């Protein structure tokens, strides 16, 4: 096994060294060129590889996905909008779309709300760095790791047995002697899975919003206080308007992550028990059922859903950068 691992590392570092070598050679010869030639070489050598990868790896595939979505499973028969009508008329896909919608509405709102609340609370506390780090920590954990952590919390045992999952144990301590099988049969299982997403992302929302609150100029707050604003009114009329754009950026960022949601569902339920979402269904159609056309049509639907959100987010980001 160690021999195997060393072969892998030789390959990996060989590739890295090769990459570095090619760059060095190009830089050496490019740097020796004179005048106008040198400028052209700089453009070609420095920009070329990135641009090429982008076109081959993203731009062309996006167009091709749209094209593939108009065909049947092995691209032998043109279906027109057939895959889309299939998606929009299929009951299973309705459930998938409904779940996706539920996720992108609920998870970002809860995450941003919790993050904002924490940002307001934590800033004046002694030792805030410790609290912030601990709450931010799940951001470094993969969604697969986080899913295993929460699957363990939700672990179901026959209530007569000693419990292993914390949630059931807490229910029993509180006097609910027969807690349900949380993620496999409980009607709220979609929300229980959402907890994982919220758990991972709240720290991000908190850190960003806390920085935005700190960036509110002190004189603005003081002027409002002199005008008699206190407590809730200060919060609603000064704090919120001042950090509005940051709130929207956070909300959108979390929403995009949520829309691409794949790992949590795959690890926790595999999409069974009414928890399937768009990205997983796309993967199942394209890479498990090998129905390239249907998978592609779902990818296009996902893209159409993300587009306005991201476009808005990026516009906002740009506006902030121009202001700066």
- Which residues between 54 and 73 bind other proteins (CB under 8 A)? 54, 56-62, 64-65, 68
Instruction: State which residue, 178 or 260, has the beta carbon closest to other proteins.
Output: 260
Angle of CA points 46, 52, 57, to nearest 5°? 135
Instruction: State which residue, 188 or 220, has the beta carbon closest to other proteins.
Output: 220
CA–CA separation, 198 and 254 (whole Å): 9
CB of 25 to other proteins, least distance (A): 12
Give the number of residues in contact with other proteins, rule: CB under 8 A. 136
Applying CB under 8 A, among 25, 51, 101, 315 the residue interacting with other proteins is 51
CB of 149 to other proteins, least distance (A): 5
Applying CB under 8 A, among 93, 135, 192, 254 the residue interacting with other proteins is 135
Applying CB under 8 A, among 165, 182, 275, 277 the residue interacting with other proteins is 165
CA–CA separation, 249 and 260 (whole Å): 17
CA–CA separation, 265 and 194 (whole Å): 10
**Of 296, 289, 297, 274, nearest in space to 85 by CA:** 297
4 binds other proteins (CB under 8 A): yes
What is the CB-side half-sphere exposure of residue 125 using CA atoms within 13 A?
A: 12
Q: In the stretch 275-314, what mask flags binding to other proteins with x, by CB under 8 A?
A: ----x--xx--xx----x--xx-xxx-xx--xx--xx--x
Instruction: State which residue, 27 or 78, has the beta carbon closest to other proteins.
Output: 27
Applying CB under 8 A, among 78, 142, 244, 289 the residue interacting with other proteins is 142
DSSP 78: B
155 binds other proteins (CB under 8 A): yes
Applying CB under 8 A, among 152, 185, 241, 244 the residue interacting with other proteins is 152
| Interface positions, 188-247, toward other proteins (CB under 8 A) | 199, 202-204, 207-208, 211-219, 221-222, 224-225, 229-232, 234-235, 238-239, 246
39 binds other proteins (CB under 8 A): yes
CA–CA separation, 166 and 155 (whole Å): 8
What are the CA-CA distances from residue 52 to residues 44, 59, 65, 313 (Å)? 10, 10, 19, 27
162 binds other proteins (CB under 8 A): yes
| Interface positions, 253-272, toward other proteins (CB under 8 A) | 253, 259-260, 262-263, 266-268, 270
| Sole residue written with tokens 């002027």 | 223
CA–CA separation, 229 and 223 (whole Å): 9
CA–CA separation, 286 and 291 (whole Å): 5
292 CB burial (10 A radius; 0-12, 13-18, 19+): buried
Instruction: State which residue, 118 or 197, has the beta carbon closest to other proteins.
Output: 118
| Interface positions, 85-104, toward other proteins (CB under 8 A) | none
| Residues making up the chain, counted from first to last | 324
Helices 292-323, 91-122: axis angle to 10 degrees equals 30
| Listed ranges 93-101, 105-113, 185-193, 249-257: which one lies at the site for other proteins (CB under 8 A) | 249-257
């Amino acid at each position: 096994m160690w021999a195997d691992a060393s072969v892998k590392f030789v390959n990996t570092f060989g590739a890295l060294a090769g990459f570095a070598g090619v760059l060095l050679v190009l830089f050496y010869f490019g740097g020796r060129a004179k005048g106008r030639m040198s400028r052209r070489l700089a453009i070609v050598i420095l920009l070329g590889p990135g641009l090429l990868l982008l076109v081959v790896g993203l731009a062309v595939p996006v167009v091709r996905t749209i094209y593939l979505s108009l065909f049947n499973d092995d691209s032998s028969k043109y279906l027109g909008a057939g895959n889309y009508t299939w998606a929009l008329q299929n009951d299973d896909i309705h459930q998938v779309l409904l779940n996706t919608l539920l996720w992108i509405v609920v998870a970002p709102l809860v995450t941003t709300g919790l993050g904002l609340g924490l940002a307001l609370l934590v800033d004046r506390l002694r030792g805030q760095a410790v609290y912030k780090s601990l709450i931010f920590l799940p951001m470094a954990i993969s969604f697969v790791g986080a899913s295993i952590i929460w699957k363990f919390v939700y672990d179901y045992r026959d209530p007569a047995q000693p419990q292993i999952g914390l949630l059931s144990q807490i229910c029993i301590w509180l006097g609910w002697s027969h807690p349900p099988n949380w993620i496999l049969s409980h009607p709220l299982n979609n929300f229980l899975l959402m907890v994982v997403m919220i758990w991972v992302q709240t720290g991000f929302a908190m850190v960003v919003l806390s920085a935005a609150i700190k960036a509110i100029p002190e004189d603005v707050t003081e002027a409002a206080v002199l005008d008699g604003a206190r407590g809730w009114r200060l919060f609603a009329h000064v704090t919120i308007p001042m950090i509005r754009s940051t709130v929207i950026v956070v909300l959108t960022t979390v929403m995009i992550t949520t829309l691409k949601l794949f790992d949590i569902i795959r690890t926790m339920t595999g999409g069974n028990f009414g928890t399937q979402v768009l990205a997983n269904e796309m993967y199942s159609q394209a890479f498990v059922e090998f129905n390239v056309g249907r998978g592609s049509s779902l990818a296009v639907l996902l893209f159409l859903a993300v587009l306005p959100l991201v476009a808005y987010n990026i516009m906002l980001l740009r506006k902030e950068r121009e202001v700066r």
